[in-house]
């Protein structure tokens, strides 16, 4: 299989390519960021593999990313001495759309170019972004541990060729034959600006090599002159002091590690030095990453793990609990062994300590973020339902997580979840001692609930819970700051102490007797149970446990209620669906 072969891209690749070139044109310099980001990842991977496989160490030079400008040939070359790719890996990584999110992404394309451009911007473009500025891309790569190299070449128009090649060093070299109007990328200053802007955080040196005009020497022999200089600081960003890191650097670093394209909302950057030494640089994104937004909640969780500045693994999930799985970033430990495995991380005292600090710091950062209503609303829309899981998962921090939750209520404007439990408590009516909530499939449906009538009449605010996770949430959050959470649809109501109702209330009667729901009737003042209650009871038969008079209604003639101990309606449906 060493001969030259021509292969067609997967149909989706061609489609992405065309759209991307169009969509990204106004922001075309991002191709450099993408290629440098890949080069950096490749060097990380080689360092990591060489830890376990001594034979690879011979291949490992001083890590460096080189950008070479050749004005005469009109090429821009990005090279690294990282892990490289085998022939198979080239086909798999570069001829196909690997990520499962991509297909779904393509299905969402509307044909409306403006909307699609936006989508692509959020999605990111990776290697293919080279075609924004290049009419032809030639990639030559040699996998660490392999002797033979492979050359991949394409015009980005449906097919590519693969052939065996020679390459002295391991790593990857990507030659961009620039399109006619892209001469700006032959200007060293332009390259320098772009690298400073997007790639200053890269831990390895990025060198700019400029091939100067051929100087003909005395003998008339052509001689290339080269000018080489380093464009970045080349130290791991998280090791620098935060005072020396600009907001832009943080943002671009976040985009690099998270493979994301949004602005992070907040971050934690902290170094702990004591019994253990470690650094955390963690970000809270402002948008759900693409695959998360597509309903695949779980794939991209976790942070990058470094040990003493050496990359060890992606998506290390043990450093944060599941309910903070939207957090992205790096953790760097001085105490873990370089050969640490996923299994070893599972039950490890160093990890536990780092995780403790990470959770504490992230929750504090969210707390701080909540002072900015607009930013917090962005956070809450993207990740609120995930954070809610913390109340269920993290018994130790239940109250702290609960204080970060936001809800819609009968008094908030519309379905937007902006109200904290603390605010609710502040607004409670004098004499009110519980936090009331109603669960429903939608805000509108909840507001129509007859259960709310008495609350409306008494001016008592009710939280409106409509997320799938809410039934579990309220099962685990029995109280907040000493106030019980109570469903409007369950059990006996006790709004009497509020004492403001004009209605004469009758007493509810009856004890729990069975499993069925109850039906209630409202009635004007009555001392004893009305005889017709029995008749209604007979009529409804098995369908209800009991018919009783209610004080919860003001307009509707009757409604169904549950006993305090019964599972909620939505929960019941969910369990039914699950076959329980
Ligand atoms: P991503 O970086 O998000 O995976 P890209 O399109 O940027 O997506 O790259 C696709 C894949 O191609 C990478 O995951 C990697 O496996 C491979 N790749 C790209 N550039 C390089 C490189 N310089 N060295 C080694 N592998 C690379
Ligand atoms: Mg990439």
Q: How far is CA 317 from CA 262, 349, 470, 531, 580, in A?
A: 22, 15, 25, 63, 31
Ligand 1 pocket mutation pick from 30, 32, 41, 130 by most atoms within 8 angstroms of CB:
41
Distance CA 311, CA 330 (A): 10
Distance CA 456, CA 438 (A): 13
pLDDT digits (tens, 9 = 90+) for 97-129: 555 456 666 676 666 666 666 666 556 567 888
pLDDT digits (tens, 9 = 90+) for 186-234: 999 999 999 998 999 999 999 999 987 665 555 555 656 788 999 999 9
Contacts of 391 (CB under 8 A, 6+ apart): 398, 401, 402, 405, 473, 476, 477
Helices (H) and strands (E) in the chain, counts: 18, 22
Minimal-distance CA residue to ligand 1 atom 8: 126
Instruction: Name the residue with higher pLDDT: 465 or 527.
Output: 465
pTM of the model: 0.78
| CA 174 to ligand 1: nearest atom | 23
From ligand 1's centre to the CA of 37, what distance in Å? 9
Q: Which ligand is nearest to the CA of 260?
A: 1
The predicted complex's ipTM stands at 0.99
From ligand 1's centre to the CA of 424, what distance in Å? 49
Minimal-distance CA residue to ligand 1 atom 16: 93
Q: Ligand 1 pocket: which residues have CB below 6 Å? A: 34, 38-39, 42, 80, 82-85, 93-94, 126-127, 172, 259
Going by pLDDT thresholds of 50, 70 and 90, the confidence category of residue 457 is: confident
| CA 171 to ligand 1: nearest atom | 24
From ligand 2's centre to the CA of 40, what distance in Å? 9
pLDDT digits (tens, 9 = 90+) for 222-268: 656 788 999 999 999 999 999 999 999 999 999 989 888 889 999 99
From ligand 2's centre to the CA of 261, what distance in Å? 12
From ligand 1's centre to the CA of 39, what distance in Å? 8
- Provide the pLDDT for residue 207: 98
pLDDT digits (tens, 9 = 90+) for 350-379: 999 999 999 999 999 999 999 999 999 999
Minimal-distance CA residue to ligand 1 atom 11: 93
Going by pLDDT thresholds of 50, 70 and 90, the confidence category of residue 562 is: low
**DSSP H or E stretch at residue 331:** strand 328-333
Nearest to 234 by CA among 202, 257, 195: 202
User: How many other C-beta atoms are found inside a 10 Å radius of the C-beta of residue 83?
Assistant: 28
From ligand 1's centre to the CA of 276, what distance in Å? 34
Going by pLDDT thresholds of 50, 70 and 90, the confidence category of residue 514 is: very low
pLDDT digits (tens, 9 = 90+) for 471-484: 889 999 999 999 99
Distance CA 129, CA 517 (A): 60
pLDDT digits (tens, 9 = 90+) for 427-441: 999 888 899 999 999
From ligand 2's centre to the CA of 270, what distance in Å? 27
Ligand 1 pocket mutation pick from 127, 156, 202, 300 by most atoms within 8 angstroms of CB:
127
């Amino acid at each position: 299989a060493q001969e030259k072969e021509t292969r067609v891209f997967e149909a989706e690749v061609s489609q992405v390519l065309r759209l991307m070139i169009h969509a990204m044109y106004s922001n075309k310099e991002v191709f450099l960021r993408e290629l440098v980001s890949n080069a950096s990842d490749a060097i990380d991977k080689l360092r990591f593999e060489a830890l376990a496989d001594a034979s690879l160490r011979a291949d490992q030079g001083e890590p460096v990313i080189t950008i070479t400008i050749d004005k005469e040939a009109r090429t821009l070359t990005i090279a690294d001495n990282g892990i490289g790719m085998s022939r198979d890996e080239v086909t798999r990584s570069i001829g196909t759309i690997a990520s499962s999110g991509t297909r779904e992404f393509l299905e969402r394309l509307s044909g409306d170019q403006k909307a699609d451009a936006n989508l692509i911007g959020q999605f990111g473009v990776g290697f293919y972004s080279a075609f924004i500025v290049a009419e032809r891309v030639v990639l030559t790569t040699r996998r660490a541990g392999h002797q033979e190299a492979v050359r991949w070449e394409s015009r980005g128009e449906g097919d590519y060729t693969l052939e065996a090649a020679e390459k002295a060093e391991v790593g990857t070299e990507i030659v961009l034959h620039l399109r006619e109007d892209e001469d700006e990328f032959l200007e060293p200053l332009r390259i320098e600006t772009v690298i400073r802007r997007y790639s200053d955080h890269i831990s390895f040196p990025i060198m700019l090599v400029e091939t100067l005009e051929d100087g003909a020497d005395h003998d008339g022999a052509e001689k290339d002159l080269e000018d080489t200089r380093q464009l970045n600081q080349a130290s791991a960003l998280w090791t620098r002091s935060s005072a020396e890191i600009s907001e832009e650097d943080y943002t671009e670093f976040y985009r690099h590690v998270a493979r994301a394209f949004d602005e992070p909302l907040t971050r934690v950057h902290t170094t702990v030095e004591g019994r253990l030494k470690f650094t955390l640089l963690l970000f809270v994104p402002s948008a759900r990453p693409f695959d998360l937004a597509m309903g695949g909640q779980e794939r991209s969780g976790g942070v990058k793990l470094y040990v003493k500045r050496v990359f060890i693994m992606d998506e290390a999930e043990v450093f944060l609990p599941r309910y903070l799985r939207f957090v992205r970033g790096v953790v760097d430990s001085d105490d873990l062994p370089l050969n640490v495995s996923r299994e070893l991380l599972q039950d490890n005292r160093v990890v536990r300590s780092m995780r403790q600090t990470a959770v504490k710091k992230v929750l504090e950062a969210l707390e701080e973020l909540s002072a900015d209503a607009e930013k917090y609303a962005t956070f809450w829309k993207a990740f609120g339902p995930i954070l809610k899981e913390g109340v269920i998962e993290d018994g130790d921090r239940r109250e702290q997580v609960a204080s970060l939750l936001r809800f819609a209520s009968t008094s908030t404007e519309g379905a937007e979840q902006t109200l904290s439990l603390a605010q609710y408590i502040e607004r409670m009516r004098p004499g009110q001692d519980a936090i009331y909530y109603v669960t429903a499939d939608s805000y509108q449906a909840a507001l129509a609930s007859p259960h709310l009538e008495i609350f409306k009449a008494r001016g008592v605010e009710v939280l409106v819970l409509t997320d799938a996770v809410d039934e579990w949430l309220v099962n685990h959050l029995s109280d907040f700051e000493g106030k019980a959470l109570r469903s409007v649809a369950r059990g006996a109501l006790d709004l009497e102490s509020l004492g403001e109702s004009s209605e004469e209330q009758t007493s509810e009667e009856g004890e729990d007797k069975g499993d069925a729901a109850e039906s209630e009737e409202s009635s004007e003042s009555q001392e004893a149970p009305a005889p017709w209650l029995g008749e209604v009871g007979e009529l409804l038969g098995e369908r209800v446990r009991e018919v009783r008079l209610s004080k919860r209604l003001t307009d509707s003639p009757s409604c169904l209620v549950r006993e305090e101990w019964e599972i909620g309606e939505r929960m019941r449906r969910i369990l039914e669906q699950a076959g329980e």
